Amino acid sequence: MIKVLVTGADGFIGSHLTELLLEKGYKVKALAYYNSFNNLGWLDDFPAHSNLEIVTGDIRDPHFVKQIMAGTQIVFHLAALIAIPYSYHAPDSYVDTNIKGTLNVCQAARELGGIRVLSTSTSEVYGTAQYVPIDEKHPKQPQSPYSATKIAADAIALSFYNAFELPLTIVRPFNTYGPRQSARAIIPTIITQILNGTEQIRLGDLTPTRDFNYVKDTCSGFLSISQSDSTIGKEINIATNSEISMSEIFEMIKEILGSNVLNLSDEQRIRPPKSEVLRLCGDNSLITSLTDWQPKYTLEQGLKETIEWFSIRQNLDKYKAGIYNF
């Protein structure tokens, strides 16, 4: 049985990836962020499983990281600070968690030996598209402190492959959405406000375009990459080769929900002009050539599944739709 560690398992993508790995028969050690409330994030909702071990801690502690990585064969490193607006206010925290945390994982993998590392990047590192579809050779553009720390984390990780032959891959999902996503993101923001009966919902700039991946497709991409030796040493997009504007997403969700809600522009949700990433559309030809991965969900299918999940009252009640948490 393959033993794996998922950092950031208490979060959105990490919790879905943990579920997928358990379904596929892996023995999973799931890292949740330590807190005095013993809150395990989305792992709180998981039933007990004989192949699941949940540990709490902090990716910023190198000694702890090495300790929990011992005995694992694959590390899916997803733990990170990801909120772009908060990175404007607390960039130092992003350096500590995103860069130092990634360094800790790579250093531990090097010292322990025999560990495959998949380090999670983000399409935000590309910034506004200079050409589309965006392949892995597209220039990196640090348009926010968040994206700057992810660019640096990717560079640290790749340096361990180049300098020490650490078996490592940079996994770069484009905009992932689905059940459990934070309401900071556009899709759950729209859904939660409509389902809570708001007549005028508050959104930011609706002109940018994004390449949206349903979370189950993103997770299957991680798994496919981990199963292919030909992906080692590479940066790999998980994308759909398509793009849609925020305003079109707004209209799609309204149509699915049968809503006539109006949009009220919210200044606090709008990024500084040079920081807004105006266009993202990813090229997935590398992942499809090196693995058997293909996206299985259309945008409409993914949105319907997402809305179905949010429509369950106990799920919706976990969200504070009227509060903007940057």
Q: What is the pLDDT of residues 259-307, one digit of tens each?
A: 999 877 666 667 788 999 999 999 999 999 999 999 999 999 999 999 9
The residues that bridge with 144 in the sheet, in sequence order, are none
pLDDT average, residue stretch 315-320: 92
**Model confidence at 205, in pLDDT bands (50, 70, 90)?**
confident
Residue 57, strand partner residues: 33
Which pLDDT score, from 0 to 100, does residue 324 have?
63
The predicted model gives 165-184 an average pLDDT of 97
Q: Which residues contact 80 (CB under 8 A, 6 or more apart)?
A: 8, 97, 98, 101, 120, 150, 153
Six-digit token string for 93: 């925290």
- Under the banding of pLDDT at 50, 70 and 90, the label for residue 203 is confident
Q: What is the pLDDT of residue 204?
A: 79
HSE, CB side, 13 Å, CA atoms: give it for residue 217.
28
pLDDT at 115 over 80: yes
For residue 312 the two structure tokens come to 């369950």
Q: Which two tokens stand for residue 120?
A: 């999670």
Alpha-carbon distance of 244 to 282, in angstroms, equals 12
List pLDDT tens digits, range 129-152. 999 999 999 999 999 999 999 999
Q: According to the model, what pLDDT value does residue 320 have?
A: 83
- pLDDT number for residue 266: 61
- CB 42, CB 12: distance < 8 Å: yes
Which domains, from first to last, does the chain contain? 3-178+213-238 (3.40.50.720)
Confidence label for 69 from pLDDT (cuts 50, 70 and 90)? very high
Q: Is the peptide bond before 188 cis (omega within 30 degrees of 0)?
A: no
